[in-house]
């Protein structure tokens, strides 16, 4: 199997973390989106928006969209399940994946767009956009904080189990810390303890930190 991606891409990292959790070997094909390789005709044929990641099975079957890919990998690969078996707890996992996609990540991207990408382009960050992003992140983190009261993970019975819900949040949280906005996470005790717990996993330690393609 192959993953077309970029090591610094948040969406690629969800797929790589899932594969690391499963202990699965695969071929990584770098598509250097920083150098415009996403816009090549070959890549546009795989991903019409020119984005990464793209998953390709051994028989050539392809799948785009990071959250669809990680669900498919978890459903089909051997290894510890990253999805709760109980239907209500699975629904909770899906709820969190949706909150991450619809509420948390768009606000994080407002912050990263200014404090990371604008700076890389040599532009002054627009702090009104950053503040707007902080408001959205605080709202989502307040919900994380409530959910994580007396629990270790977002979904699963009892104190919960590490699941795709955690994997979907991790790359964005790392980038909040990298651009100096980690306080949004670390100032909330349950969320901070959860982040410490999940970010020390071997799978994440393998994936995190790398920004550039080789
Ligand atoms: N909804 C897509 C979003 C993919 C996405 O935004 N990928 C980014 C990297 S994290 C990308 O390829 N950006 C380059 C571009 O948009 O040109 C997914 O979840 O896979």
What pLDDT digit, counting tens, does each position of 25-72 carry? Answer: 999 999 999 999 999 999 999 999 999 999 999 999 999 999 999 999
- 152-161 pLDDT per residue, tens: 999 999 999 9
Angle at 86 between CA 82 and CA 90, to 5 degrees: 55
pTM: 0.96
Query: Are 48 and 104 in the same domain?
Result: no
Residue 207 has pLDDT above 90, yes or no: no
Mean pLDDT (the chain, rounded):
96
Q: Whose CA is nearest to atom 17 of ligand 1?
A: 51
Residue 192 lies in domain: 87-205
Query: Are 38 and 97 in the same domain?
Result: no
19 inside domain? yes
Ligand 1 and 105: CB distance under 6 A: no
210 inside domain? no
Query: Are 106 and 132 in the same domain?
Result: yes
Give the number of the atom of ligand 1 that is nearest the alpha carbon of residue 38. 17
Q: Whose CA is nearest to atom 10 of ligand 1?
A: 9
Q: Over range 188-202, report the average pLDDT.
A: 98
Query: Are 114 and 185 in the same domain?
Result: yes
Query: Are 64 and 130 in the same domain?
Result: no
Query: Are 100 and 191 in the same domain?
Result: yes
- 67-84 pLDDT per residue, tens: 999 999 999 999 999 999
Q: What is the SS3 assignment for 159?
A: coil
Ligand 1 and 11: CB distance under 6 A: yes
CA distance 77 to 79: 7
- Using the mean position of ligand 1's atoms as its centre, give its distance from the Cα of residue 38 in Å: 10
- Using the mean position of ligand 1's atoms as its centre, give its distance from the Cα of residue 177 in Å: 20
Q: Whose CA is nearest to atom 18 of ligand 1?
A: 65
pLDDT of residue 212: 72
Query: Are 64 and 132 in the same domain?
Result: no
Q: Give me the percent of the chain exceeding a pLDDT of 70.
A: 99
């Amino acid at each position: 199997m192959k993953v077309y991606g970029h090591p610094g891409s948040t969406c690629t990292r969800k797929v790589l973390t899932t594969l690391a959790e499963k202990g699965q070997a695969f071929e990584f094909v770098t598509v250097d989106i920083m150098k415009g390789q996403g816009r090549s005709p070959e890549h546009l044929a795989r991903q019409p928006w020119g984005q990464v990641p793209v998953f390709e099975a051994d028989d050539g079957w392809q799948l785009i969209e990071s959250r669809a890919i990680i669900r498919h990998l978890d459903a089909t690969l051997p290894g510890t399940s990253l999805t709760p078996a109980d239907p209500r707890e699975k629904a909770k996992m899906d709820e969190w994946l949706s909150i991450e996609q619809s509420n948390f990540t768009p606000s994080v991207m407002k912050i990263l767009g200014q404090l990371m990408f604008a700076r890389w382009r040599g532009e002054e960050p627009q702090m009104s956009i950053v503040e707007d992003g902080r408001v959205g992140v605080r709202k989502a983190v307040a919900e994380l904080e409530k959910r994580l009261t007396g629990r270790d993970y977002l979904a699963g019975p009892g104190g919960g189990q590490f699941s795709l819900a955690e994997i979907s949040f991790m790359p964005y949280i790392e980038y909040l810390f990298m651009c100096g906005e980690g306080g949004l996470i670390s100032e909330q005790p349950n969320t901070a303890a959860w982040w410490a717990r999940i970010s020390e996993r071997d799978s994440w330690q393998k994936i995190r930190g790398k920004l550039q393609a080789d």
